[in-house]
Structure 1
Amino acid sequence: MSTDPPRHAWLSGTGRRLLAVATLVLGLGVGGTIAFVGADARGPAGATEVTVLTRNLYLGGNISRPLNATRGINDPDAVLAAFAHANDALRTIVDQTDFPSRSKLLAAEIAGGAPDLVGLQEVALWRSGPLETDQMGVANAATVDYDYLALLLTDLNRLGHPYEAIQVRQESDVEGPAFQGTPGTASLKAPRDVRLTLRDVILRRSGSPVRVEGVGGGTYRARQDISLAGRRIAFLRGYGFADVHLGDQRLRFINTHLESQSSLTALDQAHELLAGPAAIAGRAVVIACDCNSDPLDHTRKAGDPTPHSATYDLITGQGRFTDQWLLLSASNPGHTAGFSEQVNDSDTRKVDHRVDMVFAKAADGSALTTADGRVTGLEHRSPEGLWASDHAGVQLRLRT
């Protein structure tokens, strides 16, 4: 991550709000550098300006861990034990990455920038229930352990910067056993089922001049399914959108999180996105996207024929969308990804690539104006030394 100082102080308007909220989190610890780019944050007043943020909340751990633990194992009892032990370890990491603490950082970040619309990805709902090894993969655990959306909205309210969830899109809903030791023996500890429900959410700032006309969403046909004890489980991804009015202008704001495990699947999902909600005519379109596609990475994953950059290239090429970050000064590369699973990195040096984007185009296909913008989430850590997420966010003020 570049540690060059910002080109502009960004101390008026939104900048003052950011600094005011920052005083509420002085005890959280500071690391990295603030990365603001652009001219005066407010610029000329106008109803055709909208500030948007794309923000991955980080579900709290590597969900590939339990499946990876079963590779090469054929005995059903051994598969169960390997999966459950790894799932227990994953769930422990989720506790350690402490979303209640990280949520306070995220709330301060959002309140400080005061975006009109926020696209959130990995808005996890973690639940638990009795161990049911005879119902592997059946998502029925009901005890709520962490509801990321409820926690974040509560923290925003406490800061006096309320937001409303105007579109909540449920995606994958998966459940599996977690325990230590061996079932049927005295070594068995902490037996339970662990359930993860993933959602992508659009927030609107209460009091924003942006008026909501309607919302919608869908699930991509292209997907990466998983297998658990012989049961095929769909791992779903999709998109949500809000159609809004900015004065006499109309805009569609789309929020999506594309596949991370397969660039080919992510590319197929991007084709669906462009042919579906992003193809609406007669209004500007803005896409908040954790695209899992680095425009500068042309390598391929093992067994994947598609370069990592292909999804980005499709959206900005055939899709005719502009990567609005690139319309800012080149002094900040806009890196957003690279923190460790534990999000307790000592600094931001591993945040070294971009996968979080804001794409846009006007109704006539031209680019929108990017008045200013910043990478968010690289300034503060919690008292325990945690970053707000394993990603940074991207906030841009756009003129339609």
Structure 2
Amino acid sequence: AVDVNVKKTTYRFVNTHLEVRSAPGSVFRYFQSLQMQELVGTIAYLSNLDPKPIVMVGDFNSSIEDEEGCWEHPAYGCLPYVPPYMQAVGAGYLDSWRLQNTYDDGFTSGFDEYVSDPAAELTSRIDIIFIDPKNLEIDKVQADVVGDTVEDMTPSGFWPSDHAGVVAKIKFDE
């Protein structure tokens, strides 16, 4: 995390990359859930000590479509998990993409493993900018996906990354 001062207000900026997305019931969904619990819990603890607005970004490998489930542990049976997206929203974070008026899906994931297919279609939105504004009111959010058009490919024919990026301009009321 990094604390950033903008116009006399200090914001805490947090970046993460959680465990890979996998099939429901997978041990990786359980690991991912634990990672998010740790992240949200740590931020909450630090915020209790030193409250400030939070911008939490990253490849969460989780989307609004993910559902709760359980991983069947061989010795302990069902170990429940809650998807990271659901945990963030449950902890009071706002999804910046959903705060704007758009019909665009905002998909950022779906390039092939070689990141070289110009016809690749992005199929899910797992790269997210979450906001916990604390006592500030959000005036406007403008978010966009970048690195998702053929024109963004390198001269050698590769996408800039294995995911498209998401950027947001967030304006708080003063």
* TM band (smaller chain): 0.7 to 0.9
How far 1:306 moved relative to its partner? Answer: 5.5
Q: 2 CA distance for matches of 1:301 and 1:335?
A: 26
- Secondary structure of residue in 1 paired with 2:123: coil
Query: Is residue 242 of structure 1 aligned with residue 2 of structure 2?
Result: yes
CA RMSD of aligned residues (A): 2.4
Post-superposition Cα deviations, 1:345-371, rounded to whole Å, max 9, x if no partner, equal 12242x11011000011123x663443
Which residue of 2 is the match for residue 269 of structure 1? 35
Cα separation, 2, equivalents of 1:312 and 1:270: 9
Whole-Å separation in 2 of the counterparts to 1:258 and 1:341: 18
Distance 1:306-1:329 versus aligned 2 partners, 3 A rule: farther
- Does 1:295 pair with 2:64? yes
Distance change (3 Å), C-alpha of 1:265 and 1:252 = same
Aligned to 1:282: 51
Q: Which residue matches 2:102?
A: 330
Contact 2:127-2:166 within 8 A present in 1 as well: yes
Count of residue pairs brought into register by the alignment: 156
The runs of 4+ residues in structure 1 deviating greater than 4 Å are 299-307
Q: State how 1:1-400 maps to structure 2 within 5 Å.
A: 241-260=1-20, 262-279=28-45, 280=47, 281-298=50-67, 310-317=83-90, 319-349=91-121, 351-364=122-135, 368-379=138-149, 380-400=152-172
Letter in 2 for 1:316: V
Asked if structure 2 preserves the Cα contact closer than 8 Å seen for 1:323 and 1:357, the reply is: yes
Q: Deviations over 1:271-316 (max 9, x none)?
A: 1111113441431000012111122133869868667x72110110
Normalised by the length of structure 1, the TM-score is 0.36
Give CA-to-partner distance per residue, 1:177-206, whole Å, 9 cap, x none: xxxxxxxxxxxxxxxxxxxxxxxxxxxxxx
What is the percent sequence identity of the aligned residues?
A: 28
Measure the CA separation in 2 of the matches of 1:344 and 1:254: 30
Unpaired segments ≥5 residues, structure 1: 1-240
TM-score of the superposition, structure 2-length normalised?
0.79
SS in 1 for 2:98: helix
Instruction: Tell me how far apart the structure 2 counterparts of residues 387 and 273 of structure 1 sit (CA, whole Å).
Output: 30
Q: Provide the rounded CA distance (Å) in 1 between the counterparts of 2:43 and 2:147.
A: 29
- Counterpart residue type for residue 131 of structure 2: A
**Greater C-alpha radius of gyration:** 1
Q: Structure 2 CA distance, aligned partners of 1:288 and 1:302?
A: 26
Q: Match of 1:353, SS? A: coil
Using the alignment, how far apart are the partners of 2:97 and 2:148 within structure 1? 17
